[in-house]
Amino acid sequence: MSNPPTAAFVVVANRLPVDRVTLPGGRTAWRTSPGGLVSALKPVLQRNEGAWIGWHGAPAEELEPFVDDGLELVPVPLTHSEVEEYYEGFSNGTLWPLYHDVVAPPEFHREWWEAYVRVNRRFAQRAADVAERGGVVWVQDYQLQLVPAMLREMRPDLRIGFFLHIPFPPTELFQQMPWRRQILEGLLGADLVGFQHQGASQNFVRLVRQRVGHKTHRDTVYLPDGRLVTAGSFPISIDAESFEKLARDPATEQRADEIREELGAPKHVLLGIDRLDYTKGLRQRLRAFGELLAEGSIDLDDAVFVQVATPSRERVDQYKVLRDDIDRLVGRINGDVGRIGRVPITYLHSSYPKAEMAALYRAADIMVVTPLRDGMNLVAKEYVACRYDDQGALVLSEFAGAADELKQAYRVNPYDINGMKATLLQAMESPDREKSRRMRSMRKYVSEHDIDRWAKSFLDRLAGSETHHDKHPRPV
Ligand code: F6P
């Protein structure tokens, strides 16, 4: 493989912003990678020249660095067994459920951990090759928690930031992790460790004190070698302006009208857009909607639900089970309460380009976002950004990070099906004036707290953070 390009600003994430997929017939193509991380970081990197290091989504394939959509991309290869053990295994069978309130049981396997260490070292080595002397490397998310310390050992000249896009678990749950100390030490290789939520940042500092034994004061960790590590909360956001621009495009409006027509022009279009993941509360929201129809609280002529479920981690057992469950549940509800020409739930197991998403947001009267636990949930913010008419209602789980910021949403506890039914009805019946008061205030918040502000606040803090405690005497 040829020498990679070098850059003063480097993003390291498990995935590149594009995924290499094999189409039926064997041809390969590039597709936008799933998930909020990519949609949030892509505009950041497009505006700050730099390189993006990540896996290209296909196993056992070594690719040369390439440029896509103005971005310098540096692929990291994974073998078939590394996809199984590092990505599907430790990242998504151990860390993902553990960090999401153990809503599914995490599995702990030593071979998975060994693969995680090996692959993290490969990412760190790639970053060490690409980053210019004195440059900034920004490591992303739970798949790469060991990279900061590995990279610091290879390249002590760099400024290293880490941001966790998902929740960081309460200390009681984190303690289950057999390799808890190694993970904390991995993160401590960064100068700045960022979380979505202040509580997560506090959990991290507390765990470092308890488990690694370092001195801490407020959000600062004092390492024995004189280095300082800062922890902080930086709630992530979206490129609000570009979503609004897309929403205002006449082609988007026209497509939104078509969608409503195709759905039978009902009074209420309810919409869910999620990766097909057991943390997203899909079962709960569909059951709530189905029960409202079955008991006659809403009329089939008045309301339909569109659920887009983007395929995700399809070879992981818990995701296979979920897919079957949702298929069955949708089939049952449609079979029980539907009739010829009227299907209550339109279920789309697919991913869509940004323009189609914007049209769906425009077509939806009620956006239903009901995760059991979610670091942020950018779909909620995208919906708000697209409602430039101040219409529409957002039903939002109190367990999504976004609920801390979008305070005017219709809040629900997704574990409480009756409560969720009542809130869905409330949102449907609210007068336009009430909905527009709520939406206006959320739109103001999202447009003021956009992705540029998020990236700037993290990167400014990283640039300005003290790295040694000569100026800050260590607490005793
Ligand atoms: O933010 C959560 C996250 O896991 C990202 O790290 C990831 O890019 C996205 O969701 C999609 O998940 P996956 O890459 O496993 O398809």
pLDDT along the chain (476 residues), means of 10: 85 95 86 85 88 95 92 96 98 98 97 98 98 97 98 98 97 96 98 97 97 97 97 97 97 98 97 98 98 97 97 94 97 96 96 95 98 98 98 98 98 98 98 98 98 96 78 53
Residues of the chain with CATH 3.40.50.2000: 7-236+453-464, 240-448
- What pTM was computed for the model? 0.96
Q: Counting atoms of ligand 1 from 1, which one is nearest the CA of 312?
A: 16
Q: State residue 32's pLDDT score.
A: 87
Atom 3 of ligand 1, residue of closest alpha carbon: 35
Distance from the CA of 51 to the center of ligand 1, in angstroms?
Answer: 19
Tell me the best of 21, 53, 165, 318 to mutate to test the pocket of ligand 1, counting ligand atoms within 8 Å of each CB and taking the most: 165
In the sheet that 66-68 helps form, which strands lie side by side, from edge to edge? 66-68, 71-75, 51-55, 7-15, 131-140, 159-163, 192-195, 228-233, 220-222, 215-217
Our measurement of the distance from residue 416's CA atom to the centroid of its chain's CA atoms, rounded to an integer in Å, reads 24
Give 240-448's CATH code, choosing from 3.10.105.10, 1.10.10.1100, 1.10.3720.10, 3.40.50.2000. 3.40.50.2000
Q: Counting atoms of ligand 1 from 1, which one is nearest the CA of 92?
A: 15
Q: State residue 82's pLDDT score.
A: 98
| Alpha-carbon span 83 to 196, nearest angstrom | 27
Distance from the CA of 312 to the center of ligand 1, in angstroms?
Answer: 9
Measured from CB, residues less than 6 Å from any atom of ligand 1 are 14-15, 34-38, 141, 165-166, 312-313
Q: Counting atoms of ligand 1 from 1, which one is nearest the CA of 38?
A: 8
138 beta partners = 11, 161
Encoded tokens for 129: 């090759």
Q: State residue 470's pLDDT score.
A: 59
Class of domain 7-236+453-464: alpha beta
Q: State residue 390's pLDDT score.
A: 97
Q: State residue 474's pLDDT score.
A: 55
| Alpha-carbon span 303 to 113, nearest angstrom | 47
Q: State residue 174's pLDDT score.
A: 97
Atom 12 of ligand 1, residue of closest alpha carbon: 35
